[in-house]
Structure 1
Amino acid sequence: MVPHTADVRIEAWAPDREGCVAEAVTAMVDTFVDPSGATPEADVEFHVPPGDDPDLLVGVLDEVIFRMETEGELPLTTEARSADDGGLLVRWSMTGTDAVELVGAVPKAVSLHELRFGPDGGGWSCAVTLDV
């Protein structure tokens, strides 16, 4: 997490695109809850249709916010892999929002302003602003 006025800005990095997406999900969730005492209740899979890399990242993060608001669940772990169609297959171990402790402002949306996601040196990195 990095300082950002009136919003939350996260950064993540990993050796590959899919790992960076998974790290971004973890970073986002860690900005507003402490999941340390929670246990997985269900495994969920989600397919992100093909698109530009930043669109794939936003699609995954938007889905986390959507599931939190509509299903009352959050991912404890995230695994992402490339789909045959060029999109992403994401697998989450989910827990209920009632099983985690709120520690920060809950994100309402992913901002496209100053969004960065792509190859960086020997791996991949991203920077995302979350509207809270």
Structure 2
Amino acid sequence: MAFNDLSENFEGLNKSTQEFVEKNYEYYKLSIFKTLTKGTSSMVLFMSIGAVLFGAMLLLTFAMALFIGAWLDNLGLGFLILGGIYLIIALVAYYGFRKTIERKILIKASKDFFDFDD
């Protein structure tokens, strides 16, 4: 009799363990799907806004270069000056803000990836 009870307990334990593993697998599968979906939608939104801002910045750059060129009576010099200004801005941003930007991106990505409560 004791052997029957022990056998039934082991069968119940085996069944419970199997259900736990299956539910855990389903949970993590849904969690990974949610994380990937959030990441993909964020990337698509970022790229869409980036494309619009790039077009606007391109047009503003041409307008400023033409304005500076007309002001100096030399269009090529206007474009050269504006290119130099953008190069200086890029170097300052790279050397001045690189670590800060990397840290913020790492913190945001970590919260999005490891936050299973949402």
- The two structures have a TM-score, normalised by structure 2, of 0.20
State the structure with bigger RCO (CA 8 A, min sep 6), 1 or 2: 1
- When Rg is computed on C-alpha atoms for both structures, the one with the higher figure is 2
Of Structure 1 and Structure 2, which has the larger fraction of its residues in strand?
Answer: 1
Of Structure 1 and Structure 2, which has the larger fraction of its residues in helix?
Answer: 2
